[in-house]
């Protein structure tokens, strides 16, 4: 097999979005594997909804939160929720932490793409509604935030 034939195989892989190719014939073996870079892209626009339709927990000694100052960050896609950039890293946010509009609050992995999810508002995280590694649906509430 010469270089021209190998180039044809590489072109075929590209045209058909193949990640791996393996061929063995007459004592000759070739295995090609395309490198897959990890891509981190910010989510386009993340919708937020008012929390007035969601029940809010009431704690002893605290005044109940009102719908006017509380919002919910929802998942902009179906995927897997990650609270940190890696298992060894601290979470992006914790309950009681202040966040600003473009602060990253989590990652949603969808089809092997890590999508950073921004807060899109200034406020304080009052509740984290999903666990690390949990699958999430489109529009599923992820965080409650008390607006500043």
CATH number of residue 52's parent domain: 2.40.50.100
Q: What is the pTM of this model?
A: 0.55
50 and 28 assigned to the same domain:
no
21 and 75 assigned to the same domain:
no
56 and 98 assigned to the same domain:
yes
Whether residue 110 has pLDDT greater than 80 = yes
67 and 9 assigned to the same domain:
no
- Write out pLDDT tens, residues 6-49: 788 888 878 887 778 788 878 778 887 776 555 555 555 445 44
User: Per-residue pLDDT averaged across 104-109, rounded?
Assistant: 94
143 sits in which H/E element: strand 141-147
13 and 46 assigned to the same domain:
no
- Write out pLDDT tens, residues 54-63: 444 444 444 4
pLDDT at 14: 81
**φ and ψ at 50, to 5 degrees?**
-75, 145
Beta partners for 107? 82, 116
Question: The domain containing residue 19 runs over which residues?
Answer: 3-33
Number of domains in the chain: 2
24 and 45 assigned to the same domain:
no
Whether residue 120 has pLDDT greater than 70 = yes
Question: Which residues have CB under 8 Å from 120's CB, separation 6+?
Answer: 46, 48, 73, 101, 102
């Amino acid at each position: 097999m010469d270089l021209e034939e190998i180039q044809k195989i590489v072109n075929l892989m590209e045209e058909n979005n193949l990640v791996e190719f393996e061929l063995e014939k007459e004592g000759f073996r070739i295995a090609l594997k395309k490198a897959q870079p990890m891509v981190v892209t910010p989510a386009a626009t993340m919708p937020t909804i008012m929390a007035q339709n969601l029940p809010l927990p009431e704690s002893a000694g605290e005044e109940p939160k009102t719908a006017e100052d509380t919002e919910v960050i929802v998942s902009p896609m179906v995927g897997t929720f990650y609270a940190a950039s890696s298992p060894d890293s601290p979470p992006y946010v914790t309950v009681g932490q202040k966040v600003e509009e473009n602060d990253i609050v989590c990652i949603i992995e969808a089809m092997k793409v890590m999508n950073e999810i921004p807060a899109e508002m200034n406020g304080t995280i009052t509740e984290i509604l999903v666990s690390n590694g949990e699958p999430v649906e489109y529009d599923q509430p992820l965080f409650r935030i008390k607006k500043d």
